[in-house]
Structure 1
Amino acid sequence: MERWKKTPLKLYIQDIFRAKQSQNNKYVYEMFGIKFKNVLLHGVVTALYNTSERWTNFELSDPTGTVQVYYNFTKSNKHVNPECMKDIIHSLAKVSNSVEKDLKTMSFMLERIEKRNANINFREGDYVSVLGDIFVDDLRDSRMISGFDCNKSSIERDILWMEEMRFIYDKSYIK
């Protein structure tokens, strides 16, 4: 059985294309002597296409390159299924007849869950952090990212990311 790093490996986009695919498992890659499956990237959205209520494809760019990302909102671990949302709303209705303090708490929680459950509407120019897997698009024979957690970020986070990456490369990856 092949062993690989269970936590995501922080990489620049160029490294996605430089990583070597494992011979034993097509979903495991190797770079800097580290075998990994999941990657963590950060960059700016430079193009959006094939967007629907459930998924979007976008190009993510950082100073080293550009990669295409496929993100299905419904497969995100942030997504709450409709039946669960109905139960939460029903519980809120029950509590509304009880103590006012409980109502405020439940209302706040519902608001946060709804906000988290909403589809992320990316736009060109948004800074985004992506957690996902590398996969090869067989039709175009190119590497892409299948994102399973994508979060909007900020330019300040992007600057901090680049500083973190420089430190990680100097201290851990390139010894």
Structure 2
Amino acid sequence: MAMTLPVPIEFLPPEGWFPADLEKADATDVAFAVVHPQPDAGFAANITVDGEYRPDTATLTELADKSVERLRNVADSVVVTDCREIGSPDAPALIQRLVFSVGFGDARRELVQSQVYLPMLDVADSREWAVVRLALTATAAQHDTVLGDFQDFVRTVRPGTGTGI
């Protein structure tokens, strides 16, 4: 079963991308995922959404560092090629780009992952906050081609009024 985000959000998936079957993919740590319709070398670019409550005072940079460490447990040669805070004090965010290698059967794939971290207050309890992570994962060859779709997707993400995705 897919995870439930700690705060509700609303967004528009990129046109032409289709929902991933999270149960079939055993993606219990993801709340939402879409897949690009044209795989590259057998790998389908995907966009995932996950998040967690943050009861501590961890910075966005510290959360991004933890994400890198988790990826190093399942991938080879993880390199952070960009990591910077963006936005304003009222609407901060962090973007990070990772390059890494993973094995698929007998083949290795060079992948690129662009991540966006968005802190959000809980609309039901403004003393609580969460961080929502949006991630695009694609082959190195396809990443720049699908990056515009991801950027358009990120621009549509906003706090929701319901109980989650």
Same fold (TM over 0.5): no
More strand by share: 2
Indicate the structure whose relative CO is greater, using CA pairs within 8 Å and at least 6 residues apart: 2
TM-score of the pair, normalised by structure 1: 0.28
**TM-score normalised by L of structure 2:** 0.29
